[in-house]
């Protein structure tokens, strides 16, 4: 009941008879039904009884009982329209708050006799609970109430000591209970489980407002779509309120929808790969910071959910430092621990690690900036992939782009071992990414897999293009050069020609890669990556040492640079000597002087390669048909040619010669029931290095080894 509005008023209407008395004396008895006084004393009752607007003296109140009292009026002249009033709210309470119960008052005396007057009726439970907005929680997530919880009395004040039991529906728990700074109540655990709590009134009031942050709820086992119902039940207090209750929905479980973003108005930073954060080996002074990433929570404490969150970068890209927003509780140490847990290839944040929500926030934002390095040879966009924490699918943002400080152009060289220094028929061309980029005294050293440095002769020629004023020096006993003078006007191009390579007889047939090591890559190998305090430096950098080389990072710049097609042991083996002309689209080829029919013609693939039917061509070249074998189970073609065993598998992009794998130009294809292989790759497998193409007649020619 509202103590200011519930009031009984008696109006004097006596046609002047009361006014005629100069010193009247009147007695009125007030009786309650269904209600009683909180404080049974003349003093307390007198505070709420008024004659003509003036509170009466306590001496005028007599015969006080729990539900009645007598008022004696003396010395007051009463006239028509004068008011005698009794406020019923402040010192009254209902005997029962059950729905339908009523409270009445009657008045007897020499001035009036009335019927019972109803002044209160229980239309609803004695307790009403409400929140202005339903909170949203992710699965296994945590959230404070979206807005304050209000507990109101429908029928009077809550007295001191009145207790309310709060109970959440199944699948939800109270993650945190805070008493708050409101002197009207306290909040505490009632010892009946994490889904229950108790509020106790400390100051009489008809409304308790519990701050949202005082009641933090977690979705323990509740799934997406589940609603959290909060039941507020009055217990152990004013008899009229006990066992009355109200239930409301305070939260619901929603799917995770964290937002991962970067500032789209910011340019994506371009960083050079293959160097450390200090950019040793190049003159570029730019930093290695990526764009700032923002992870926004859909609801409070989503990032603090009971699930692992992962952040993954492309292979070959590594983090050296992390800067995060000041209000982020888990700082660089948390990132370092997560990076180590992810084997320095991704971040794996354990449950309850990330907390981006500030106290009182509905949801928070985690902002951080990664400092990156990339291994030599890595180029392209750096995309950060964020997954886990209940996300339906991973989210990706582009945070940086890496470019190489140089490009290397080289071709495959098909070589036959002849136990001496052999000329590499093609050049190696190295191009500077921009003028002035290569720092003075920086070195570029090439090598070939399985070959030693001294297998190269010192007679290579190093030529700088005329447009650039870059100057280089040779490096003794190595295939490579040192920058003697930096370029100033135009980016430089260095061409390495007249390369000679000693071909040992113990080398197996197959492809050998061209590798490059630079001053920058040496420094890159020593770059410390993000690691927890106390982690050994070797452990933090081990992921850079892919080639088990503690000194260099040998970047592969051309696969199959040297392709040994005749090993020393089969030098005297049969060698293909015929000239073969292949008109594309025709059902024949010309082998030497003979025209040989084909059941299916050669064709040009979508990638531009001349594709030959393997069996028909091999037979036309004089290879016994019994030496061309097909294994249906493994989809493998095998050609026995002299001491060579040549195998190829449909769908694979390699050819194997005597167990040594040679990269192919295109995958082996099955068409019209026949196996096709690019002409160049078949020629390589047979030991033919000279191939020509006539675009006008669409004719390919393999010129056999005529010196054999």
Q: From residue 288, how far is each of 92, 242, 268, 398, 532 by CA, in Å?
A: 74, 67, 12, 15, 20
pLDDT score, position 525: 85
Q: Is residue 190 a contact partner of residue 208, using CB atoms and an 8 Å limit?
A: no
Query: What pTM does this model have?
Result: 0.54
Taking the CB of residue 398, how many other CB atoms lie within 10 A of it?
A: 13
Tell me the HSE value of 623 on the side-chain side, using a 13 A CA sphere.
25
Q: Which residues pair with 259 in a beta bridge?
A: 296
Rounded distance, CA 231 to CA 235, Å? 12
Exposure of 198 in the CB half-sphere (CA atoms within 13 A): 15
Lay out the sheet containing 654-657: strands in order across: 628-631, 636-641, 644-649, 654-657, 660-663
User: What is the spatial distance between Cα 374 and Cα 277, in angstroms, rounded to a whole number?
Assistant: 10
CA distance 394 to 384: 10
Closest CA to 70 of 19, 29, 108, 31: 29
The DSSP annotation for 322-388 comes to EEE-TT-SS-HHHHHHHHHHTTTTEEEEPTT----PPTT-SS-EEEEEEEEEE-TT--EEEEEEEEE
Q: For residue 547, what pLDDT is reported?
A: 32
User: What residue has token string 């026949």?
Assistant: 674
CA 566 to chain centre: 52
Per DSSP, helices labelled H in 490-584 are 519-525, 537-541
pLDDT for residue 470: 95
pLDDT value of residue 5: 64
| Residue found by looking up tokens 């006799």 in the block | 113
The structure tokens listed for 633 are 């189970």
End-to-end CA distance of the chain: 116
Residue 222 DSSP class: P
Residue count of the chain, please give it: 708
* Count of other CB atoms within 10 angstroms of residue 503: 20
The full DSSP string for 562-612 is EEEEE-GGGTTS-----EEEEETTSSEEEETTEEEE-SS--EE-TTS-EEE
The HSE-up count of residue 698 (CA atoms within 13 Å, CB side) is 13
- Closest to 270 (Cα-Cα) out of 249, 289, 252: 289
Report the C-alpha gap between 259 and 296 in whole angstroms. Answer: 5
pLDDT means per 10 residues, the chain with 708 residues, are 67 63 76 88 92 91 92 84 85 75 86 78 74 81 78 78 88 74 71 76 85 80 88 73 80 79 92 94 91 82 70 93 67 84 87 65 78 93 86 87 96 74 91 95 92 81 94 93 94 95 74 91 86 66 44 82 64 58 89 84 87 81 77 86 81 85 85 85 75 85 62
Cβ(42)–Cβ(56) under 8 Å? Answer: no
Helix (H) or strand (E) run with residue 320 in it: strand 317-324
For residues 86 and 118, the answer to whether their CB atoms sit within 8 Å is no
CA 518 to CA 445: how far, in whole Å? 6
- Report DSSP state, residue 424: -
Closest CA to 196 of 231, 163, 220: 231
Q: Is 321 left (phi over 0), alpha (psi -120 to 50) or beta?
A: beta
The Cβ of residue 340 has, within 10 Å, a number of other Cβ atoms equal to 18
Give dist(CA 509, CA 660) in Å, integer. 6
Question: Do 335 and 347 touch, CB atoms closer than 8 A?
Answer: yes
**At a CB cut-off of 8 Å and minimum separation 6, what does 627 contact?**
618, 639, 640, 641
With 0-12 / 13-18 / 19 or more C-beta atoms within 10 angstroms meaning exposed / middle / buried, residue 602 is: buried
């Amino acid at each position: 009941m509202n103590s200011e509005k519930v009031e009984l008023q008696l109006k004097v209407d006596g046609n002047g008879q009361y006014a005629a008395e100069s010193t009247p004396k009147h007695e009125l008895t007030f009786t309650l039904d269904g209600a009683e006084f909180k404080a049974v004393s003349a003093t307390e009752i007198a505070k709420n009884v008024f004659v003509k607007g003036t509170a009466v003296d306590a001496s005028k109140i007599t015969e006080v009982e729990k539900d009645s009292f007598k008022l004696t009026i003396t010395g007051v002249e009463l006239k028509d329209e004068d008011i005698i009033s009794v406020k019923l709210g402040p010192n009254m309470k209902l005997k029962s708050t059950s729905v339908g119960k009523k409270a009445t008052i009657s008045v007897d005396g020499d001035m009036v006799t009335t019927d019972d007057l109803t002044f209160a009726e229980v239309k609803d439970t004695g307790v009403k609970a409400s929140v202005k907005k339903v909170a949203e929680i992710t699965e296994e997530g945590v959230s404070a109430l979206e807005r304050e919880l209000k507990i109101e009395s429908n029928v009077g004040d809550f007295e001191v000591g009145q207790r309310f039991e709060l109970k959440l529906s199944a699948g939800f728990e109270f993650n945190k209970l805070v008493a708050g700074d409101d002197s009207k109540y306290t909040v505490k655990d009632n010892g009946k489980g994490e889904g229950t709590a108790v509020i106790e009134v400390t100051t009489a009031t008809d409304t308790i407002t519990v701050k949202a942050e005082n009641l933090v709820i977690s979705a323990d086992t509740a799934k997406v779509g589940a609603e959290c119902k909060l039941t507020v039940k009055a217990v152990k207090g004013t008899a009229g309120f006990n066992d009355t209750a109200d239930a409301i929905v305070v939260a619901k479980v929603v799917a995770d929808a964290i937002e991962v973003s970067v500032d789209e108005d910011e340019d994506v930073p371009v960083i050079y790969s293959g160097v450390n954060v200090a950019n040793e080996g190049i003159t570029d002074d730019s930093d290695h910071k990526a764009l700032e990433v923002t992870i926004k929570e859909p609801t409070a404490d989503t990032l603090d959910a009971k699930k692992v969150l992962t952040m993954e970068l492309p292979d070959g890209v590594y983090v050296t430092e992390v800067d995060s927003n000041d209000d982020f509780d888990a700082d660089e140490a948390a990132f370092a621990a997560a990076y180590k847990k992810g084997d320095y290839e991704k971040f794996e944040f354990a449950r309850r690690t990330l907390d981006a929500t500030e106290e009182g926030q509905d949801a928070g934002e985690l902002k951080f900036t990664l400092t990156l390095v990339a291994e030599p040879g890595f180029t392209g966009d750096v995309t950060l992939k964020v997954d886990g924490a209940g996300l339906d699918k991973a989210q990706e943002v582009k945070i940086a782009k890496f470019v190489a400080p140089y490009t290397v152009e080289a071709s495959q060289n098909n070589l036959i071992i002849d136990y001496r220094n052999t000329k590499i028929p093609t050049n190696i061309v190295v191009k500077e990414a921009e003028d002035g980029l290569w720092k003075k005294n920086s070195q570029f050293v090439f090598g070939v897999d399985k070959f030693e440095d001294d297998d190269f002769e010192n007679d290579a020629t190093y030529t700088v293009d005329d447009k650039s004023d870059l100057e280089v020096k040779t490096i003794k006993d190595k295939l490579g050069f040192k920058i003697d003078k930096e370029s100033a006007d135009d980016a430089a191009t260095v061409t390495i020609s007249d390369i000679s390579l000693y071909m040992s007889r113990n080398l197996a047939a197959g492809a050998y890669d061209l590798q490059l090591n630079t001053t920058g890559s040496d420094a890159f190998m020593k770059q410390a990556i993000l690691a927890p305090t106390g982690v050994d430096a070797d452990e933090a950098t081990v992921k850079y040492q892919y080639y088990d080389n503690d000194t260099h990072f040998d970047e592969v710049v051309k696969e199959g640079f040297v392709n040994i097609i005749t090993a020393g042991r089969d030098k005297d083996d049969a060698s293909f000597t015929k000239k073969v002309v292949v008109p594309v689209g025709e059902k024949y080829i010309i082998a030497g002087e003979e025209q040989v029919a084909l059941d299916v013609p050669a064709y040009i693939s979508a990638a531009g390669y001349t594709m030959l039917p393997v069996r028909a061509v091999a037979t036309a070249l004089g290879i016994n048909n019994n030496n061309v074998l097909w294994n249906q189970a493994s989809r493998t073609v095998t050609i026995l040619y002299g001491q060579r065993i040549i195998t190829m598998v449909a769908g694979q992009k390699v050819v194997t010669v005597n167990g040594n794998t040679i990269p192919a130009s295109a995958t082996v294809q099955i068409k019209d029931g026949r196996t096709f292989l690019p002409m160049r790759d078949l020629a390589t497998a047979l030991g033919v290095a000279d191939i020509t193409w006539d675009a006008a007649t669409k004719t390919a020619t393999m010129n056999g080894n005529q010196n054999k």
